[in-house]
Structure 1
Amino acid sequence: MFSPTQHIAAAVIACSTLLAPHAAFAQVHIETGGLVFDSFYSPRSEYLVSDMNGAATFSLVNAVDRMSYPNMTNYHQDYGSIFQLTAREGYRVTGYSVSGGFYGTHYVGQSPNGSGEPGSASSGAAAWAYASDTPGGASFAYGSHSVSNLNGHSDFRIDSGALDKTGSFYFSFDGYAAGSASPATWYKPGQWWPSRAYSAAEVGLKNPLLLTVYTQAVPEPHTYAMTLAGLALLAGVVRRRKRTVQKNG
Structure 2
Amino acid sequence: MNLMTRLSAMAALVLAVPANAQTPERIETAAFSMVNQWGDATDALLSDANGVTRISLNSAAASLNAATSAYLDGNFYGGLFEFSVHDGYRVTGFSFSGSFEGLLHVPPNPDGTPGNGLAYNSGNVEFSAGSRPYGILYGEHSMRVDMLDGAMPFDMSIGQLSLTTDFNLSMQGLILVSAYPTVTPENPSGIDAFASLRVVNPVFTIYTMAVPEPDHYAMLLAGLALVGVLRRRQKKYRQFYKIDRMILHADHAM
Range of TM-score over shorter length: 0.7 to 0.9
- CA 1:137 to 1:248, structure 2 compared with 1: closer, same or farther past 3 Å? closer
Within 5 Å, give how 1:92-241 maps onto structure 2.
92-112=90-110, 118-134=116-132, 137=135, 139-188=137-186, 194-207=188-201, 209-241=202-234
CA shift, 1:125, in A, is 0.8
Q: Percent sequence identity over matched residues?
A: 33
Structure 1: where are the runs of 5+ without partners?
1-12
- 1:84 corresponds to which residue? 82
| Counterpart pick for 1:243 among 224, 236, 250 | 236
SS in structure 1 opposite 2:232?
helix
Cα RMSD, aligned residues only: 2.7
- In the alignment, which residue of structure 2 is the partner of 1:65? 62
Tell me how far 1:81 sits from its aligned partner.
0.6
Structure 2: give runs of 5+ residues left out of the alignment.
Answer: 1-14, 243-254
Task: Provide TM-score, normalisation by structure 2.
Answer: 0.78
Q: CA deviation at 1:99?
A: 2.1
Larger Cα-atom Rg: 2
Instruction: Please report how far the alpha carbon of residue 170 of structure 1 lies from its aligned counterpart in structure 2 after TM superposition.
Output: 0.3
Task: Find the residue that maps to 2:190 and give its secondary structure.
Answer: strand
Alpha-carbon distance change, 135 to 104 in structure 1, aligned in 2, over 3 angstroms: farther
Once the two structures are TM-superposed, the CA of residue 54 in structure 1 deviates from its matched residue by 1.5
Alpha-carbon distance change, 49 to 69 in structure 1, aligned in 2, over 3 angstroms: same
For 2:141, what is the secondary structure of its paired residue? strand
Question: d(CA) in 2 for partners of 1:185 and 1:114?
Answer: 14
Give the Cα separation in 2 of the matches to 1:143 and 1:123: 21
State the secondary structure of the residue aligned to 1:171: strand
CA positional deviation for 1:166: 0.7
Q: Is the 8 A contact 2:132 2:166 kept in 1?
A: no
Change (3 A) 1:114 1:195: farther
CA-to-aligned-CA distance 1:181-230 (integer Å, 9 cap, x gap): 21221224xxxx715233222111234x2212111001123322332232
The number of residues matched between the two structures is 224
Query: CA separation in 1, counterparts of 2:112 and 2:97?
Result: 42
Q: How much does 1:73 deviate? A: 2.0
Q: Does 64-73 or 36-45 show the bigger shift?
A: 64-73
2:80 and 2:226 map into 1 onto residues whose CA distance is 50
Q: Secondary structure at the match of 2:66?
A: coil
Contact 1:149 1:201 (C-alpha < 8 Å) held by counterparts:
no
Determine which of 50, 54, 70 is the counterpart of 1:53. Answer: 50
Tell me, yes or no, if the aligned pair for 2:67 and 2:195 is still in contact at 8 Å: no
In 2, the alpha carbon distance for the partners of 1:52 and 1:140 equals: 24
